[in-house]
Structure 1
Amino acid sequence: MPLPYDLQPLRGPRVTLDALRPDDLDDLHALQSDPDVCRYLLYEPRSRDEVTRVLERDAAATHLEKADDYLQPAIRDENGAFLGTMYLELHSVDPDRTAEIGWILAPHAQGRGYGAEAARVLLDLAFGDLALHRVYAELDPRNDASVRLCARLGMRHEGHFVEHMWLKGEWTDTGHYAILEREWHEHRNGGVNA
């Protein structure tokens, strides 16, 4: 696996993924304090102080070398406006070469293809420069938009864990989706749902 890797801006036709910056605080706080956005996330809406700490931590997440290292880049549109964040965490380096992917999109950017494009850019990195074998996503199966995005990316529904965790005062299920390197290349070259 070609590591270490340091995040450089990753560009798609309409989006760029790059490191979070201090001037993203207002937009990141609006995103992470929104109850509708946080509904299916692992945390409750965050205060400005909490988001300030998260921004400092995640802005530094630009280096991949070993298991548990992660990237948390901002998603920006063609004019540089903040649209949300992506997530890629290495779970195994050698020999399994596995990572988890995730995304959070601002409400004004949802339903416009930005999430799919940003995820494709990150999966191209994962299965290209990083030479990963498998990338998976875990999500609340009630999150229809994320379930649809997994399908658009060609990810296979591998499992549904019933009442998998106690979260926000209720038992919640977890959906598990994944795609292999060879499947990603087939998908990108005109496969189903491309």
Structure 2
Amino acid sequence: MPRVRLPITTERLVLRSFRPGDEDDVFAYRSVPSVVRYIPGEPKTREQVADLVAERATAGRIEEQSPNLTLAVELDGRVIGDVLLLLDGLGGRDGRQAEIGWVFAPDVAGRGYATEAARAITDAAFREVGVHRVWAELEPENTASSAVCERLGMRREAFFQKASWFKERWTDLAIYAIRADEWSGDQPVPTVSDELTETES
């Protein structure tokens, strides 16, 4: 199974495995209702956050039985969010496609961190894992995440009306994607608003 070399260092951020001691930082954003509005599950308890941190200490390995990689995003020693890389979502279990997602603390919104981290995990998917296509699934009303996808150079490939029963209501879905032959990975760090949410997995 593939492995991503860690840590991944960007201009401002470090993407790494979770480790003991991250729990307080992760709880600070994963427990906020507005932060989890567009991601599966409810605000997490401290116990659930402790389990998440323990489960995601994978050292970059993507295992066959659980083909996802969730990395802590660190800024100046603080975990401000996390990014997801999930192999074989949409498009079958061929190991050549990956879904990405992200979630960040609300107090760091508008500084481009989500785009910077999403670009780094997308680049790793193409260059290290060797996938053919990276995609994201989100509610169209989640305009912050739509903007992140567009900054990555993704196109909106599909729009499905009331196609998902999510958090007790029917929601629209949009699919954004980019292929390896389209990816350059050298887009500039954004300076526009980059509000923090996560695409649905």
Match in the other structure for 1:102: 101
- Unaligned runs of at least 5 residues, structure 1: none
What is the TM-score with the length of structure 1 in the denominator?
0.87
| CA drift at 1:94 | 8.1
CA distance in 2, matches of 1:54, 1:189: 31
- TM-score normalised by the chain length of structure 2: 0.84
Which structure is higher in helix share? 1
C-alpha displacement of 1:123: 1.5
Residue of 27, 30, 48 corresponding to 1:29: 27
1:175 alignment partner, SS class: strand
Percent identity (aligned):
40
Please state how far the C-alpha of 1:28 moved relative to its aligned partner: 1.0
Runs of 4+ more than 6 Å apart:
none
Moved more, 84-93 or 135-144: 84-93
Pairs aligned (count): 186
Aligned-pair distance for 1:54? 2.0
Residue-by-residue CA offset, 1:5-41 (whole Å, 9 max, x unaligned)? 1541001111110001121111111211101101111
Q: What does residue 9 of structure 2 align with?
A: 11
Change (3 A) 1:189 1:149: closer
Structure 2 CA distance for aligned equivalents of residues 61 and 90 of structure 1 = 16
Q: Which structure has the higher relative contact order (CA within 8 Å, separation 6+)?
A: 2
Structure 2 CA distance for partners of 1:148 and 1:67, relative to 1, 3 Å: farther
Distance 2:25 2:182 in 1: 35
More divergent stretch after superposition (51-60 vs 117-126):
51-60
Q: Deviations over 1:85-138 (max 9, x none)?
A: 000011179856111111001111221011111111111211112221100011
Once the two structures are superposed, the pairs formed by residues 1-194 of structure 1 within 5 Å of their partners are 3-60=1-58, 62-64=60-62, 66=64, 68-77=66-75, 79-91=76-88, 97-185=96-184, 188=186
- Secondary structure in structure 2 of the residue aligned to 1:41: coil
Cα deviation for residue 58 of structure 1 reads: 2.0
- Aligned equivalents of 1:71 and 1:45: distance in 2? 21
**Cα gap change, 1:136 to 1:67, in 2 (>3 Å):** farther
